[in-house]
């Protein structure tokens, strides 16, 4: 059976600042999406990571289906109205346009979609990150798909020996999708040269060279490119098919033990370590730390199993402790140097006005 998995995610309001949507809001979104089961969609899973609500649904309408996108958009709009009534903070903040025009891309919500012929058993992972941006997945995808230090299948399984094809997007180009396709392992250094700049180059998709199938789909929205000003970080979502011709679940998860530094954290303006957290986690220290959750599923004829929380394990408790130490360590440096993002990432904030104001007070002396 040909199945599509679509995830559409937005921050439409949260409690106590940018921490977590209300139970009432989650309930409303869930009930609206569930009402479409057996009609527009086959199955669904509604969740939150930090202040973001994600609608994951399975269907057979293919990628970019205007019906599916409209259902999600209408649901999020209705949710934003409830958030306003409840007085939630930042109600409707990611819904940047008023009118729906066939697709949620460019309207604010993040979207990731995979369409595939189901294997007899079809496991996949759904990642959702908060207080960071799409480049956060660059390093784990590189390590999980190109590096045998994490993905032992690259040397142990003949199904992965050919490697993977990366589609990398230049997210600073806003007129259209500007994409380069590069092959691992042949062009590994070219891939690394781009992925080292996660604010500009973002892995949009990965394909198996063995079967040609799409393995991953990640959201690439950069809200400030749509809004023209800072309106919160982009909090990316990602789908990853696993096992068989693709990396095993544990190989895809392995790089998250690093707690690598990503852009985001307080006011989307700092570097902080990415902490793998349990499903439906909230946000706390310094409006962070940047977090990522992972729900594991099997899908059969479009029907989802229950979600398994991939980061709910004693191993990840230890990682969380280590990542907390990294978070505290970089915060000791406050605003200085690498602790805060470079000006190119702060250009839409108040600091640009401040520096413009100071500009005229400079004097030149011999």
Active site residue ranges: 11, 230, 233
- Minimum distance of ligand F6R from residue 346's CB (angstroms): 12
Q: Say if residue 44 is exposed, middle or buried (CB neighbours under 10 Å; 0-12, 13-18, 19+).
A: buried
Cα first-last separation, the chain:
76
Q: What is the spatial distance between Cα 240 and Cα 147, in angstroms, rounded to a whole number? A: 17
When asked if residue 232 is in the footprint of Mg ion (CB under 5 A), the reply is yes
Query: Are 88 and 22 contacting, i.e. CB atoms less than 8 angstroms apart?
Result: yes
H helices then E strands: how many in the chain? Answer: 10, 16
Burial 184-197 (b: 16+ CB within 10 A, else e): bbebbeebeebbee
Query: Are 236 and 138 contacting, i.e. CB atoms less than 8 angstroms apart?
Result: no
- Distances in Å between the Cα of 215 and the Cα atoms of 163, 165, 204, 287, 314 are 12, 10, 11, 32, 28
When asked if residue 287 is in the footprint of ligand F6R (CB under 6 A), the reply is yes
- Minimum distance of ligand F6R from residue 269's CB (angstroms): 8
Q: Which stretch binds ligand F6R (CB under 6 A): 244-252, 262-270, 292-300, 326-334?
A: 262-270
- Minimum distance of ligand F6R from residue 90's CB (angstroms): 6
- # residues near ligand F6R by CB under 6 A: 9
- Minimum distance of ligand F6R from residue 73's CB (angstroms): 22
Tell me whether residue 123 or residue 232 sits nearer to ligand F6R (CB atom): 232
When asked if residue 167 is in the footprint of Mg ion (CB under 5 A), the reply is no
When asked if residue 345 is in the footprint of ligand F6R (CB under 6 A), the reply is no
When asked if residue 16 is in the footprint of ligand F6R (CB under 6 A), the reply is no
When asked if residue 52 is in the footprint of Mg ion (CB under 5 A), the reply is yes
Q: Which stretch binds ligand F6R (CB under 6 A): 237-245, 261-269, 321-329, 342-350?
A: 261-269
Q: What is the spatial distance between Cα 317 and Cα 277, in angstroms, rounded to a whole number? A: 9
Tell me whether residue 6 or residue 269 sits nearer to ligand F6R (CB atom): 269
Q: Give the one residue of 17, 62, 106, 337 binding ligand F6R; rule: CB under 6 A.
A: 17
The tokens 């696993």 sit on which residue?
242
* 204-243 footprint of ligand F6R as x/- string (CB under 6 A): ----------------------------xx----------
When asked if residue 267 is in the footprint of ligand F6R (CB under 6 A), the reply is yes
Tell me whether residue 43 or residue 287 sits nearer to ligand F6R (CB atom): 287
Q: Which stretch binds ligand F6R (CB under 6 A): 99-107, 144-152, 246-254, 266-274?
A: 266-274
When asked if residue 251 is in the footprint of Mg ion (CB under 5 A), the reply is no
Q: Is 342 helix (H, G, I), strand (E, B) or coil?
A: coil
Q: Hey, what are 121's tokens?
A: 């058993």
The tokens 């977590």 sit on which residue?
20
Q: Give the one residue of 20, 59, 69, 131 binding ligand F6R; rule: CB under 6 A.
A: 131
Q: Which does 52 bind (CB under 5 to 8 A by kind): ligand F6R, Mg ion, none?
A: Mg ion
- Other beta carbons within 10 Å of 112: 28
Tell me whether residue 144 or residue 232 sits nearer to ligand F6R (CB atom): 232
Q: What is the spatial distance between Cα 231 and Cα 281, in angstroms, rounded to a whole number? A: 22
Neighbouring residues of 3: CB distance < 8 A, sequence distance ≥ 6: 42, 58, 59, 60, 115, 116, 117, 118, 122, 299, 301, 302
Q: Give the one residue of 92, 134, 244, 268 binding ligand F6R; rule: CB under 6 A.
A: 268
Neighbouring residues of 238: CB distance < 8 A, sequence distance ≥ 6: 112, 126, 127, 137, 216, 217, 218, 219
When asked if residue 234 is in the footprint of Mg ion (CB under 5 A), the reply is no
Residues that bind ligand F6R (CB under 6 A): 17-18, 131, 232-233, 266-268, 287
Residues that bind Mg ion (CB under 5 A): 11, 18, 50-52, 130, 232, 235
């Amino acid at each position: 059976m040909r199945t599509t998995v679509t995830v559409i995610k937005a921050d439409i309001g949260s409690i106590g600042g940018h921490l977590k949507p209300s139970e009432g809001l989650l309930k409303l979104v869930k009930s609206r999406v569930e009402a479409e089961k057996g009609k527009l969609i086959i199955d669904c899973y509604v969740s939150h990571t930090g202040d973001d609500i994600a609608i994951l649904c399975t269907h057979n309408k293919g990628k970019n289906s205007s019906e599916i996108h409209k259902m999600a958009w209408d649901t999020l709009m209705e949710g934003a109205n409830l958030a306003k009534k409840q007085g939630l903070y930042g109600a409707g903040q990611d819904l940047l346009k008023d009118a729906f025009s066939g697709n949620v891309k460019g309207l604010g919500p993040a979207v990731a979609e995979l369409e595939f012929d189901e294997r007899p058993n079809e496991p996949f992972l759904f990642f959702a990150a908060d207080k960071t941006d799409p480049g956060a997945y660059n390093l784990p995808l590189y390590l999980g798909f190109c590096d045998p230090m994490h993905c032992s299948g690259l040397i142990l399984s003949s199904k992965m020996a050919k490697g993977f094809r990366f589609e990398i997007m230049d997210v600073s180009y806003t007129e259209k999708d500007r994409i380069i396709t590069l092959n691992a392992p042949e062009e590994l250094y070219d891939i690394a040269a781009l992925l080292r700049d996660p604010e500009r180059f973002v892995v949009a998709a990965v394909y198996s060279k063995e079967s040609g199938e799409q393995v991953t789909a990640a959201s690439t929205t950069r809200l400030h490119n749509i809004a023209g000003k800072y309106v919160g970080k982009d909090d990316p979502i990602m789908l990853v098919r696993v096992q068989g011709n693709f990396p095993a679940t544990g190989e895809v998860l392995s790089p998250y033990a690093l707690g690598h530094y990503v852009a985001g954290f307080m006011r989307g303006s700092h570097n902080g370590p990415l902490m793998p957290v349990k499903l439906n986690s909230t946000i706390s220290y310094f409006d962070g730390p940047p977090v990522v959750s992972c729900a594991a599923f099997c899908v059969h004829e479009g029907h989802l199993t229950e979600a398994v929380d991939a980061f709910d394990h004693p191993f990840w408790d230890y990682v969380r402790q280590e990542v907390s130490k990294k978070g505290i360590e970089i915060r000791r440096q406050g605003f200085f140097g690498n602790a805060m993002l470079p000006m190119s990432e702060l250009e839409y904030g108040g600091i640009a006005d401040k520096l413009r104001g100071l500009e005229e007070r400079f004097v030149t002396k011999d």
